[in-house]
Structure 1
């Protein structure tokens, strides 16, 4: 099963954004995910990793919850 980590900057106040992504992933893929973990970080980090592979980095990608969900979905489908 697929594991997702959402690392977010605590001092930057990105908890709401991380929770939005977490909720969207769980709503879309539910039991097909082993876990969707929130990982605290700092220095402006906001990254999403699937089974250890980075699929989103706010420094390189435009923040779009739907796009993140779709990208994670590619990994969920591949693992099925």
Structure 2
């Protein structure tokens, strides 16, 4: 028997929609791991969603954190963590990431 725990409704969900044609699964998985490590207490889940057509979109709830087409390419991990932090816990210090 497999038990599946649903994420807490009080904790937000981040989704990463990535292009399977472009083989961006590893990039999406790495970014998911970085977010789960940094925001382990703030996030309910990070979902990887396969797509096509060059899509790479990261959303936190209904908010678009990053869109490859709109924002130009891919976020570096510093920018991604800062944008997620700004939505989840704006007062939180990300340590060395926040230093110039």
Q: Please give the TM-score of this superposition, normalised by the length of structure 1.
A: 0.89
Match of 1:31? 41
The structure whose RCO (Cα within 8 Å, separation 6+) is larger is 1
Count of residue correspondences: 78
Match of 1:7? 17
Q: Please give the TM-score of this superposition, normalised by the length of structure 2.
A: 0.73
Give the structure with the higher percent strand.
Answer: 1
Q: Which runs of 5+ in 2 are unaligned?
A: 1-10, 91-100
Q: CA RMSD in A?
A: 1.2
Q: Which runs of 5+ in 1 are unaligned?
A: none
Paired residue for 1:68, among 77, 80, 100?
A: 80
Shift of 1:15: 0.4
SS at match of 2:41: helix
Q: Which runs of 4+ in 1 moved over 6 A?
A: none
Shift of 1:76: 1.1
Match of 1:41? 51
Does 2:89 match 1:77?
A: yes
